[in-house]
Copies of this chain bind each other. A is one copy, B any other.
Amino acid sequence: MSIETVSETKCFGGNQGVYKHDSEATGTPMTFQVFVPEHREGEKLPVLWWLSGLTCTHENAMIKCHYHEACAEHGIILVGPDTSPRGPDLEGNEVPDDEAYDFGQGAGFYVNATQEPWSKHFHMRSYVEEELPALVAENFPVDMERQGISGHSMGGHGALTVSLRNSGRFRSTSAFSPIVSPMNCPWGEKALSNYIGEDRADWREYDACALIEDGARIDHLLVEQGRADNFLDEQLKTWLLEDAVREAGMNAAISMQEGYDHSYFFVSTFIAEHIKWHAERLKA
């Protein structure tokens, strides 16, 4: 598997790179970003996966999230994929200009679509669970025994569900403003019914709360949610996750932050704390 370097820029002593490759999972070119802190020759570093939210590409987090300083301080590589396959002529992209912000391009929901026409390209689950990790392991100085995962909004849903389905792979899991139960909100219902079909039993593997109900567990979980987030009541519904972890007896820290909204201004305020929390578990 070969990758093409789009750009590499020095930041906090490390390298913020953007790379492109032909994905087998999606059948399209895919772009992703990797920040590699300064490190000793031959050293392998822990890796933190960052999954982004609706409308984002690989680029939003690398500009807005402000993870560089903390990743440099703690010696953690951060990898951020795009949020969907893309292309103006993408087969299965019924709206070429992708007018919907919450479905299709920029809104892959980290699922493997089973429904036509999406089933041809929209395989973001395989992409982030299998193809990208293998590619990153081959091309960057990562220690795959020390992985953490995080993300924002739809990417918080991604981080939770990828971690819950892959027990033991991630030493630490966190999320900002996650969609905690796509089965129970308009964004999720639109995405899952179109990508996965009408049988709601098939949706459960893409719903953090349902996965926990069905027995999946995360050992170390940290969630940050702003109380002034205007998607909280209708889409994010943090309390459903609070209920699920309580009923499961699962150890989780879910912090509600007064006055913060859904933006990266919120994420950037708390990202250094999250990275420190991941570092404590990844470097223990």
In residues 52-102 of chain A, which contact B (Cβ within 8 Å)? 63-64, 66, 68-69
CB <8 Å contact, A68 and B269: yes
CB neighbours (8 Å) of A66 from chain B are: 66, 69, 268
CB <8 Å contact, A10 and B228: yes
CB <8 Å contact, B64 and A265: no
Q: Does A11 contact B (CB under 8 A)?
A: yes
CB neighbours (8 Å) of A249 from chain B are: none
Q: Does A263 contact B (CB under 8 A)?
A: yes
Copies of this chain in its oligomeric complex: 2
CB <8 Å contact, A265 and B228: no
Chain B residue nearest in CB terms to A35: B265
Hey, what's the 0/1 contact readout for A3-30 against B, CB within 8 Å counting as 1? 0000001111100100000000000000
Rounded to whole angstroms, the CA-CA distance of A261 and B10 in the bound complex is 7
Interface of A is mostly: mixed
CB <8 Å contact, B265 and A9: yes
CB neighbours (8 Å) of A10 from chain B are: 226, 228, 259-261, 265-266, 269
CB neighbours (8 Å) of A261 from chain B are: 9-10
Rounded to whole angstroms, the CA-CA distance of A266 and B14 in the bound complex is 11
| 11 examples of A-B residue contacts, CB within 8 angstroms | A9-B265, A10-B260, A10-B266, A10-B269, A11-B266, A11-B268, A11-B269, A63-B264, A66-B69, A66-B268, A69-B272
Report, nearest first, the 6 A-B pairs whose CB atoms are least far apart: A11-B265, A10-B259, A9-B265, A66-B66, A12-B269, A10-B260
Instruction: Contacts A12-B269, A63-B63 known; list 10 others, CB within 8 Å.
Output: A9-B261, A10-B226, A10-B259, A10-B269, A12-B268, A66-B66, A66-B69, A68-B265, A68-B268, A68-B269
